[in-house]
Structure 1
Amino acid sequence: MQLVVARIGRAHGIKGEVTVEVRTDEPELRLGPGAVLATDPATAGPLTIETGRVHSGRLLLRFEGVRDRTGAEALRNTLLIAEVDPDEQPEDEDEYYDHQLIDLDVVTEDGQHVGRITEISHLPTQDLFVVERPDGSEVFVPFVEQIVTGIDLEEQRAVIDPPPGLIDDRGAEDEFADDHGADHGAEQGADHGVSSRDEA
């Protein structure tokens, strides 16, 4: 299974370092020295991370064979892709890889079928399930422990305890979508890899 874990930004300095936009909650695991990453476009890679450091709040990487600013600039906007074992689990018991959550059935605690998770939207404040209902409409479910009370990967389902209006009031749902629509759209195509069930 392949996950996009970062996007290469501008060159930093003259010795081949680049800034990266991190798209994983596990940068120390995915973007550590020695990691070999596939790329998009594929012609840029594979790339092996030689060194990494944080500078002014940003992660800087240097890749084997890239020794100057020209080589670093040539990699700008390249996506870095990690191979992940489909059976691998995040260390935190309240974290899941996005591919583990996609296609889970969503049901309420009293057994009402809500729909199927089609996407995970990673907003700045929390993660959000995009749930497709049987009629084709979408419900947005915040991935917080007060609402998502259980994830059962064996049964392939997520159990929720929705507050009033979240799934049974279209007006409230449309208002929620309007409030978050811009962020939701901005996340299309970005795969952070790990979703966390946070406290609200």
Structure 2
Amino acid sequence: MADRVCVARIGAAHGVRGEVKLWPFTDDPLALADFNPLETKDGARTFEIEIVRAAKDHLIARIGGVTGRDAVQALTGIELYVPRDRLPPLTDDGAYYRHDLIGLAAVTTDGAPLGTVLALHNFGAGDVIEIGVDGGEAVMLPFTDNVVPEVDLVAKRVVIAPPGEIEAREGE
């Protein structure tokens, strides 16, 4: 999967004309259609996306060849990917694609191992980083500068400033 990057997720149908809510994972949500065609995770299906308009925290889009509410509803939850080589090159030294973080080691601010980055999510209230904690259950933390003050791709790690509840669990 390292050669492909998840750029969006298809949400619920919007209205009755075959439009769909589309949750983009790109810096410029309206540029999502520039990456057409988009693929399913396994690469078995491709989709042409036409952006209709931006909504509060998502896009309203049409999917080529898919008409009617029932057909769109059947696609709910499908993640859409693009081959990495079709993405714009990163020009800033500190820039990274979110996908680059998955699998990195997570350490605390004092360098103690915490676990591994499992995923990055956005459930609508902001970005969340999921950490598989060594010897424990996975935790989800806000992906903010306060909680994740450093991303170091060269060292293959993210630094986590754990909130109190994780620090308390470490001492148990």
Could you say which TM-score interval applies, normalised by the shorter chain?
0.5 to 0.7
TM-score (norm 2): 0.67
Q: What is aligned with 1:20?
A: 21
Q: Which amino acid aligns with 2:119?
A: E
Mapped partners of 2:137, 2:55: distance in 1: 43
The 3-state SS of whatever aligns with 1:28 is helix
Deviation at 1:77, TM superposition (A): 3.0
1:37-96 deviation digits (Å, cap 9, x = unpaired): 2248977x53323x4322775744345556xx55x7434332362313178667888875
TM-score (norm 1): 0.60
In percent, how many aligned pairs have the same letter?
Answer: 23
Q: What is aligned with 1:7?
A: 10
Deviation at 1:147, TM superposition (A): 2.4
Q: Is the 8 A contact 2:106 2:114 kept in 1?
A: yes
Q: What is aligned with 1:99?
A: 99
Pair 1:53 & 2:56 matched:
no
The 3-state SS of whatever aligns with 2:134 is coil
Cα RMSD between the aligned structures? Answer: 3.9
Q: Is the 8 A contact 1:5 1:80 kept in 2?
A: yes
The 3-state SS of whatever aligns with 2:84 is coil
Whichever of the two has the greater Rg, that structure is 1
Q: What is aligned with 1:77?
A: 74
The 3-state SS of whatever aligns with 2:30 is helix
- Matched ranges for 1:185-196 at <5 A: none
Q: What is aligned with 2:158?
A: 158
Structure 2: unaligned runs, 5 residues or longer: none
Structure 1: unaligned runs, 5 residues or longer: 172-200
Q: What is aligned with 2:37?
A: 36
Q: What is aligned with 2:145?
A: 145
Q: What is aligned with 1:125?
A: 125
Mapped partners of 2:142, 2:128: distance in 1: 4
Mapped partners of 1:132, 1:80: distance in 2: 22
Q: Which amino acid aligns with 1:28?
A: L
Deviation at 1:114, TM superposition (A): 1.6
